[in-house]
Chains A and B, each alone.
Chain A
Amino acid sequence: MEQVNTPAVVTQPPAASKLPGKKKRKNWELFIIALPLMILVLMFSYVPLCGWIISLFEYKPGRALFDCRYVGLKYFQMFLTDRDVYRVLKNTVIFSGIGYLLSPLPMLFALGLNEIGNARFKKVAQTTTTLPYFISMIIVYSLAFAMFSSDGVLNTVLKSLGGAGNTNLLMNKKIVYLFQTCITQWKNLGWNAIIYIAAIAGIDQEQYEAAMIDGAGRFRCALHITLPGIMPTFLVLFLLSIAHFVSTGFEQYFVFKNPIVASKIEVLDLYIYNMGLKLFDYSYSTAVGIIKSAISVVLLFAANTLAKRVRGTAII
């Protein structure tokens, strides 16, 4: 593990403490430099917020907003009554739920890797398992296609073993949740483990020495020193992830969708895309996006409150 210099301690900003004359002078030069960039931030991150207004109108593309009919909360009510929404929310909750159930995996991965004695093997394993994180989702799909489609390697191997060789995991509606979970883990597990590997490296070695003098074996050391040592990291990451409960991400589900698995792979983010850019129901799609943001914000504050209770400090 590389040692990393940590800019964690925020020292007092280097103001012109020794220059009392300069301190009072406002630094307009730097303000002018920042201004164009801040205007871009406003243009691309804040102006879209004004677009939320279209969720209250029957907005048609290419028409001015005041020419559109005001419909109040119609699109929000639609969300509550639409039958597709139930299915989409179910998918979202299942994908998220599986994600939470598997959230200790990176921690276990790091624990296991830490127990490997061969330094070179350890290094190769860590480097290789982190690689998939940096590959684009399109490539991941292409790889999955090469492995699991009807012309894929899996079928070649099955055929040579005397099987029929006509499985296509990408088009199998029964295993969508399992298959997508495997893809997610394949891509992210090694990467997510890095932070725990760093946490393990930061544990005081003297604790191990002391425990061994008391007769603890390696397993007991892992259980009573390493695990408690990285639990705070797990807790923080878990609390942070609560706010993302309805944001399962979009790319993976978009890329892997096909007519056969469509109904089970459609998560909330994909639904927003489908309603907006496929069916051109801009107003409804915006309304669903607002509801999603609202849920996320509520969850964020809930997680923050929970963090204060459990850890004594806030996470945001």
Chain B
Amino acid sequence: MARYKIGPARIVFNILNYTFFTLFTLLCVYPLWYVFIYTISDPALVTGTPVTFYPVGFSMYNLSRVIRLDGLAHAFFISVARTVVGTALTVICCMLLGYVFSQENVPFRKLMYRIMVVTMYVSGGLIPTYLVIRAYGIMNTFWIYIIPPVSAYYVILIKTYIEQLPPSLQESALIDGASYLRIFIRIIMPLSMPIAATIGIYSAVEQWNAWFDNHIYTFTNDKLLTLQYLLYNYLTEAERMTKALEGTHITEAMAKRAQNLTPMGVRMTVTLITVMPILLVYPFLQRYFIKGILIGAIKG
């Protein structure tokens, strides 16, 4: 890298530039930091000294009470289940389709590929999709979260990836008499791990963050409540919040006298629990996230 001379204009620019990025970085971190310190603050002290930059006292009260709230553990389980099952299904199905589309001699390959691509541009829209799903009879079932497991975008990425693998490997396997499914499992899958990982991570984040399907298709079934939607309920429905609090007060009447589970306390704690998985995996998987956008961009 060559050297530049540093003049006064440059110094002013550097100061402004560093200031902007410092502020923006803090702006991205602070709300999450706040949720964290609010959760671990002592609820009895919070009313007197508002939380701002550091925890007020220290207590696990919020966390230990909130994880016992009615339905929270189950919502966590549903969120984990849809993330694990949904991601696994999406990756396997998209890989299979991507592989099929990369093979030239498949009947109706072009037609099927076009059918797939069109779904990226045309959709029936909210109500027609809603009515169709209702007609299929899968309202209020777990299927809503994991079907359909194919996304045109992922399939195209995988197809492009498989096409740039050396063809000689598949050819020699074919000569040895391996079936196509066997080639897929033994050769294509191991070689496509990088793209599978990228798509898996995107799909997992999407699944974990999803809530709208819960809101319109499964909201009458409390057994299918996801963590995200539970949090949304706590944020918007004061009634649901009070009910949840009452539940704890009856069973924890003694504890109530000493400390209090406040609406804000519940909201912040549930927020922390909901965002935690993303925060935990993000630093380790960041390069995959970036890879994802770059592959997509090159394609586009």
Contacts and interface: CB of A to CB of B under 8 A. Distances in A.
A124 interface: yes
A15 B2 contact: no
B123 A48 contact: yes
Contacts of B250: none
B21 A147 contact: no
Contact of A143 (B35, B131, B211, B289): B35
Q: Which of B96, B100, B180 has most A Cβ within 10 Å?
A: B100
B53 to A, nearest CB: 9
Nearest to A292: B125
B290 to A, nearest CB: 6
Interface string B176-192: 00011100000000000
Contacts of A130: 286, 289-290
B232 interface: yes
A135 B275 contact: yes
B257 interface: no
B182 to A, nearest CB: 10
A2 B126 contact: no
Contact of A40 (B148, B160, B290): B148
Interface string A247-267: 000110001000000000000
Contacts of A132: 28
A313 to B, nearest CB: 12
A146 B38 contact: yes
A218 B10 contact: yes
Interface stretch (B59-67, B162-170, B237-245): B162-170
Contacts of A151: 264
Interface string A201-244: 00001001100100001110100000000000100100010000
Contacts of A33: 96, 100, 180-181
Contacts of A208: 2
A49 B129 CA distance: 8
B148 A44 contact: yes
Q: Which of A42, A146, A315 has most B Cβ within 10 Å?
A: A146
B299 A139 contact: no
A310 interface: no
B100 A34 contact: yes
B225 interface: no
A33 to B, nearest CB: 6
A34 B96 contact: yes
A277 B289 CA distance: 34
A48 to B, nearest CB: 3
Contact of A52 (B25, B29, B32, B124): B124
Q: Which of B35, B179, B232 has most A Cβ within 10 Å?
A: B232
Given A9-B164, A127-B283, A116 B108 contact: no
Given A26-B107, A198-B297, A14 B167 contact: yes
A273 B232 CA distance: 18
B132 interface: yes
A4 interface: yes
> Which label, helix, strand, loop or mixed, suits the secondary structure of the B interface?
helix
Given A136-B209, A217-B7, A34 B52 contact: no
A282 interface: yes
Interface stretch (A77-85, A93-101, A186-194): A186-194
A54 B105 CA distance: 40
B270 to A, nearest CB: 8
Contact of B34 (A9, A34, A153): A153
A37 interface: yes
A43 B148 contact: yes
Q: Which of B38, B171, B194, B294 has most A Cβ within 10 Å?
A: B294
A41 B124 CA distance: 12
Contact of B131 (A135, A212, A282, A293): A282
22 contacts: A4-B295, A7-B161, A11-B164, A27-B180, A29-B179, A29-B180, A30-B103, A37-B93, A40-B147, A41-B150, A46-B115, A47-B124, A51-B125, A51-B128, A130-B290, A131-B282, A132-B28, A136-B208, A186-B27, A195-B297, A272-B127, A289-B125
Interface of A: 1-2, 4-11, 13-19, 22-31, 33-34, 37-38, 40-52, 54, 112-113, 115-116, 121, 124-125, 127-132, 134-139, 141-147, 151, 153, 156-157, 186, 189-191, 194-195, 198, 205, 208-209, 212, 217-219, 221, 233, 236, 240, 250-251, 255, 272-273, 276-277, 282, 285-286, 289-290, 292-293, 297, 300, 315-316
Interface of B: 1-2, 4-5, 7, 9-10, 13-14, 17-18, 20-22, 24-25, 27-29, 31-32, 34-35, 38, 50-52, 93, 96-97, 99-100, 102-108, 112, 115-116, 119, 121-133, 136, 147-150, 160-161, 163-167, 170-171, 174-175, 179-181, 194-195, 205, 208-212, 216, 228-229, 231-232, 235, 264, 267-268, 271, 274-275, 278-279, 282-283, 286-287, 289-291, 293-295, 297-300
